[in-house]
């Protein structure tokens, strides 16, 4: 079983000025002359992690990570209620990736994305296929309406107690009117009252924790204890979900033929409750150049040992492919 590579520090980092008031934090690790690889983090709004640096051979890869708009070390932060998220959409992120590629002088790169990062990977690769050498994605999502509904409501029969608490987090008046739960939490996370916003952020993460702890009893990410982090993440997630990620429903599967010249590895845990297997299966059928690897003991989290080992094995495989 492949293990994560040793911890490393960036050899370079900076802030990309997008020209519209946003500054995007980026960092480069590994071999400055190695094969370029870009990490697209999940959430949306989770920010990049130090563990993601360790999923690539640092002797072979030039590993690029960045915090997507308004999260992590990028500015301004979504934790600030005054931060306008109207310029934070899937297509702004796709444009940011291209600006970063040009800034760093990279012609083509391998893409790795987990969870929401897999959606962003597909959106970028289908828009700029000539810039992608290979793709590795795990916890496969395309952020269709059905996937959003499953994550925010469909899982309820599996976690009735946690669902009850999540649903009770909405004011009774909104519940009586039947307000959609994503819309309700989006409204609460943009409320003028800071305590209302923080409670909504914690309630949102408590609901996500139900499925995470079932499959990964080792515990929740430490960052979830940080109020600014949960505010940032929940506000961005609901912003994306309430807008359907600005994607025509099912478009990433419909346009999978654009990936025809790109090899891919799809890693899916059998115990991934957040992203059911059907999406990975449908993508593999629509993209014959990809390989679907089902991990019988893995879940959604890249911290799961089986999943992290599979990610390293996949990037090692592409490391050894001849350069074109």
Active-site residue set: 115, 272, 300
For the chain, the straight-line distance linking the first and the last C-alpha, in angstroms and rounded, comes to: 29
Tell me the residue ranges of DSSP E strands in the chain.
Answer: 12-17, 23-30, 35-40, 61-66, 109-114, 132-138, 264-269, 290-295
DSSP 229-275: HHHHHHHHHHHHHHTGGG--TTHHHHTGGGGTTS-EEEEEETT-SSS
Q: How far is CA 229 from CA 58, 213, 236, in A?
A: 29, 19, 11
Q: Which residues are 65's β-sheet partners?
A: 27, 39
Angstrom distance (rounded) from CA 179 to CA 188:
12
CA–CA–CA angle 272, 277, 280 (5° rounding):
120
Q: How far apart are alpha carbons 142 and 286 in whole angstroms?
A: 13
* Helix, strand or coil, per DSSP, at residue 306: helix
Rg (alpha carbons) of the chain, rounded to whole number? 19
Contact yes or no for 90/64 (Cβ under 8 A): no
Q: Which residues pair with 123 in a beta bridge?
A: none
Q: How many CA atoms lie within 13 A of 9 on its CB side?
A: 1
Q: List Cβ neighbours of 36 (8 Å cut-off, separation of 6 or more).
A: 61, 62, 64, 104, 106, 108, 109, 110
């Amino acid at each position: 079983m492949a293990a994560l590579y040793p911890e490393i520090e960036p050899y370079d980092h900076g802030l990309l000025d997008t020209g519209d008031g946003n500054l995007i934090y980026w960092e480069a690790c590994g071999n400055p002359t190695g094969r370029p690889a870009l990490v697209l983090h999940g959430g949306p709004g989770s920010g990049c992690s130090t563990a993601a640096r360790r999923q690539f051979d640092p002797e072979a890869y030039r590993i690029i990570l960045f915090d997507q708009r308004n999260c992590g070390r990028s500015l301004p932060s979504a934790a600030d209620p005054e931060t306008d998220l109207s310029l934070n959409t899937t297509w702004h992120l796709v444009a940011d990736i291209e600006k970063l590629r040009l800034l760093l002088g990279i012609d083509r790169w391998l893409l790795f994305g987990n969870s929401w990062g897999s959606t962003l990977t597909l959106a970028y690769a289908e828009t700029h296929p000539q810039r992608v050498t290979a793709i590795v994605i795990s916890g496969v999502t395309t952020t269709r309406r059905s996937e959003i509904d499953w994550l925010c409501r469909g899982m309820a029969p599996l976690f009735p107690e946690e669902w009850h608490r999540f649903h009770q987090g909405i004011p009774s008046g909104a519940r009586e009117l039947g307000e959609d739960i994503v819309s309700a939490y989006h409204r609460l996370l943009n409320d003028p009252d800071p305590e209302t916003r923080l409670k909504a952020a914690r309630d949102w993460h408590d609901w996500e924790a139900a499925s995470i702890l079932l499959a990964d009893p080792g515990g929740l990410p430490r960052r979830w204890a940080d109020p600014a982090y949960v505010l940032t993440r929940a506000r961005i997630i609901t912003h994306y979900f309430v807008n359907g990620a600005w994607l025509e429903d099912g478009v990433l599967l419909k346009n999978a033929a654009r990936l025809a010249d790109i090899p891919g590895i799809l890693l899916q845990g059998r115990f991934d409750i957040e992203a059911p297997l059907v999406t990975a299966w449908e993508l593999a059928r629509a993209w014959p150049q990809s390989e679907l690897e089902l991990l019988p003991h893995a879940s959604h989290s890249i911290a799961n040992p089986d999943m992290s080992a599979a990610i390293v094995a996949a990037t090692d495989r592409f490391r050894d492919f001849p350069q074109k």
